[in-house]
Structure 1
Amino acid sequence: MTTVLDHEKLYAARLYAVSARPYLATALYALHIVESRQVPTMGVDKYWRCYVSPAFVAGTPVEELASILVHEVSHLLRDHHARSDRYARAHELTGAAERLRMNIAADAEINDDAFGDGLVTPAGAVLPADLGLPAGELMEDYLGQFRLGRLTEHLAWLDCGSGADGLDRGWELGPDGADGLSEQERDAVRFRVAQGIVGRPGDAPQGWQRWAEAALHPPQPWRDLLGAALRSAASAPGVGADYTYGRPARRSAALPGVVLPSLRRIPPRVAVVIDTSGSVSDVELGSALLEVAAITRAVGGRRDLVTVLSCDAAVWIADPLCRAEGMTLMGGGGTDLRTGFTAALRTRPDVVVALTDGQTPWPATRPPCRTIVGLFRRPGAWSEADPDYVPDRPPAWARVVDIG
């Protein structure tokens, strides 16, 4: 006898899931249920279709079905299919076995804090502890810490669909099938869920809060932003410009006997102030030197137009650039970039670029040239003398780009 899919039971499970995780309601109701006798239990594709085995639904309690629905929609919200594809390309991984390993790692990312508080743990759920792994990490972290073997042999049946590991299944409808969500609709669902989590942060586990912050504030390509800020500052009106009689202005033809100078653009002079205080790591200093090389390329390779200053509480070096790779950066004490700005302005630059962690006093007045601040990210700042210490933010007159 063929088992018929019990839609009423499945809808009751979804309502149960929504009551337990209200911040996931938009995502749970965006799932389109597809009956399939080929899927082992439940599985999803990236188009937000949820394939369900009628026999599995018939033999599973409503409470457990609710937990599995939350689990499957979590794969989609966290974009596991695209992340798995990127990981596979980066590490040159192929084959169904590696995709199974990605499915297991994705499950471990989700399940460490998915259940409890109204949701039961489904039978066979993959937990990080079952694999000897720490909780609270991402799929990519777990993939570097385990291989298929004795601890995973009982998970050979696991199949959450291409929505979990990026590998298309024969039982999926694909991009041309009915009732799939477009890319814009999928992004809209993620955005609505992230808004709900951030709006009521006390209701969601830490893993979901971290995901929501990343979804609402995705990382920016800071190298591109820094380069764009420099090009914008260098091409601003009056920057790198001077008058010359070597090529008279076109308007001279209207004034017989009078030679008018034309405006000539030259590459801008750039002063780079590098924060070498003790709070800046060697890795960040290395990144700063790479940015100096990029700045040199931005001014047409003219090293004579770039001056580099090392600065902690005092200015140590103020030299024209020869080779960024061999430059010696001095410092290691406290931080006061005001001295660095003072020394930089003596070189009469068109643009000042400060690369710093931001834990410094800033000039009280706006410099007479464009200013860009490359800010090394910090999770927080503290002071033993003042528990309520908050570092000064870069002033409003500076263009700020977060680095890293």
Structure 2
Amino acid sequence: MADEAPERAAERAAERAAGRLDRDKLLAARYRAATDRPYLASALYSLSVVPTDGVPTMGVDRHWRCYVSPSFVDDTPVPELAGVWVHEVAHLLRDHHGRAGRLPPADQRDRGRVNIAQDCEINDDLLSDGLPLPEGRMEPRTFGLPEGKVFEEYLPGIPAQDAHPDCGSGAHGVPAPWELDGPGLPKVSGVEADALRRATAEAIRAHQRSRGTVPGGWRRWAEEILEPVVDWRRMLAGAVREAVAWAGGAVDYTYQRPSRRTAAMRGVVLPTLRRPLPRVAIVVDTSGSMGEDALAAAMAEVTGVLREVGVRGNRVSVLACDADVHAVSRVTSAEQVELGGGGGTDMRVGIERALASRDRPNVVIVLTDGYTLWPEEPTTCRLIAALVGEDAPVPPRWAETVRITETAR
């Protein structure tokens, strides 16, 4: 008789395990988890159950299939099973497999340490929430690490392990031997998973507003889902590059360099098209309400991008608006910009001075805390408002806006 295909053998093993699984007990534990933490109910009930002897406890794959050991269900009380349900769905809600795929290759290959770090991220939240978990659980204090971190921060502090948990590809991203795949199996797509994450985050926010009993770890996760933090440096660099490219795309005719077709036209000199290099003005709010570190970081980012795209030297002017809102000085480098002692700067003065200069800029970049008046009408050039501080007021809709919310790299 020919050897059975591995896929069919795994399916037959799952069928045998299904006959021994105490499904009532397992589903009662899920019901308890969903009842006690209703904001997780949609995610918990999206998990499909696959009985198997291959997994020692419970595990998940990236398709939201939950693999369950019948003997583990028999030996574990319902309250602890409820905690394991929450643990496994947390791997999927927090997109651990997606985040693991962005780790350096050496870390990706060490799936045991990755899994332990992920368990540390989850279990400290679950334990602080009063959820009982089985013995042998991994938590930050096991390795002398602080609580409240994400697994990427825990990973360097996790030593190599001879034995380690395996929560499946839904955690570390590497398919486990006991995972099934193929037609006919239940599956949550990537789009559906993203929708579940957002729905869960919204449920957490609503639950918090009505009862205020959501653990801190879940609250922070929900905030990141609903209000993702975007790297302002990347946004600012992209805005500057795009504006410079737009300005540089303008073309004009010049006779300083005649067209090569002139030789074929007797007595006629043809001009050539030229692509001018843009001029950029950086208008800096130097009022006392500006933060020095944020201002320095934003200035360094802007000047670095301009150097990268070839705009430098006398094609870049920096104008500092003093706190008395009337004095505007031209400096030759970012280091010469000094903050004043007052507030209430009117950045219109700096913008108008930049546009009135002989070397009129194509792009104006305004670095400000937002507490200023703006031109009533759109300027005739591209204007980027780099707002320093999370609470900076919003500028006019026609201005391109980037918020500078932190200074650490």
Deviation at 1:24, TM superposition (A): 0.9
Deviation at 1:171, TM superposition (A): 1.0
Residue identity matched to 2:32: Y
Structure 1 residues 170 and 120 mapped into 2: Cα distance closer, same or farther (>3 Å)?
Answer: same
1:396 aligns with 2:406: no
Tell whether the 8 Å contact from 1:128 to 1:135 is kept in structure 2 after alignment. yes
Distance 1:78 1:117 in 2: 17
Residue segments in structure 2 that go unaligned for 5+ positions in a row: 1-15, 258-270
Counterpart position of 2:159: 148
Residue identity matched to 1:14: R
1:128 aligns with 2:144: no
Secondary structure (helix, strand or coil) at the match of 1:186 reads helix
Alignment match of 1:290 (pick from 301, 310, 315)? 301
RMSD: 3.7
| CA-to-aligned-CA distance 1:365-400 (integer Å, 9 cap, x gap) | 44633321123454x6xxxxxxxxxx5333434210
Tell whether the 8 Å contact from 1:17 to 1:119 is kept in structure 2 after alignment. no
Counterpart position of 1:184: 191
Tell whether the 8 Å contact from 1:311 to 1:330 is kept in structure 2 after alignment. no
1:14 aligns with 2:35: no
Counterpart position of 1:169: 176
Secondary structure (helix, strand or coil) at the match of 1:114 reads helix
Counterpart position of 1:85: 101
Secondary structure (helix, strand or coil) at the match of 1:86 reads coil
Residue identity matched to 1:307: S
Distance 1:213 1:312 in 2: 38
Tell whether the 8 Å contact from 2:21 to 2:51 is kept in structure 1 after alignment. yes
Residue segments in structure 1 that go unaligned for 5+ positions in a row: 248-260, 381-390
Residue identity matched to 1:75: H
Structure 1 residues 116 and 229 mapped into 2: Cα distance closer, same or farther (>3 Å)?
Answer: closer
Counterpart position of 1:362: 373
| CA-to-aligned-CA distance 1:144-186 (integer Å, 9 cap, x gap) | 3x2327xx77xx3422122222232111125778222221121
| CA-to-aligned-CA distance 1:312-337 (integer Å, 9 cap, x gap) | 637675256xxx7xx53321334536
Tell whether the 8 Å contact from 2:370 to 2:387 is kept in structure 1 after alignment. no
Alignment match of 2:78 (pick from 62, 87, 95)? 62
Alignment match of 1:213 (pick from 209, 223, 237)? 223
Residue identity matched to 2:296: L
* Count of residues in Structure 1 that have an aligned counterpart in Structure 2: 364
Secondary structure (helix, strand or coil) at the match of 2:223 reads helix
1:5 aligns with 2:21: yes
| CA-to-aligned-CA distance 1:110-130 (integer Å, 9 cap, x gap) | 122224667334333323233
Tell whether the 8 Å contact from 1:316 to 1:331 is kept in structure 2 after alignment. no
Map residues 315-326 of structure 1 onto 2, 5 A cutoff. Answer: 318-319=330-331
Tell whether the 8 Å contact from 1:20 to 1:119 is kept in structure 2 after alignment. no
TM-score normalised according to structure 1 size = 0.76
Q: Which range is displaced more, 48-57 or 186-195?
A: 186-195
Counterpart position of 1:386: none
Structure 1 residues 61 and 205 mapped into 2: Cα distance closer, same or farther (>3 Å)?
Answer: same
Secondary structure (helix, strand or coil) at the match of 1:13 reads helix
Distance 1:147 1:319 in 2: 50
Alignment match of 2:282 (pick from 245, 254, 272)? 272
Counterpart position of 2:43: 27
Structure 1 residues 50 and 312 mapped into 2: Cα distance closer, same or farther (>3 Å)?
Answer: farther
Counterpart position of 2:60: 44
Counterpart position of 2:206: 199
Deviation at 1:225, TM superposition (A): 4.0
Distance 1:118 1:147 in 2: 25
Residue identity matched to 1:293: G
TM-score normalised according to structure 2 size = 0.75
Percent identity between matched residues is: 44
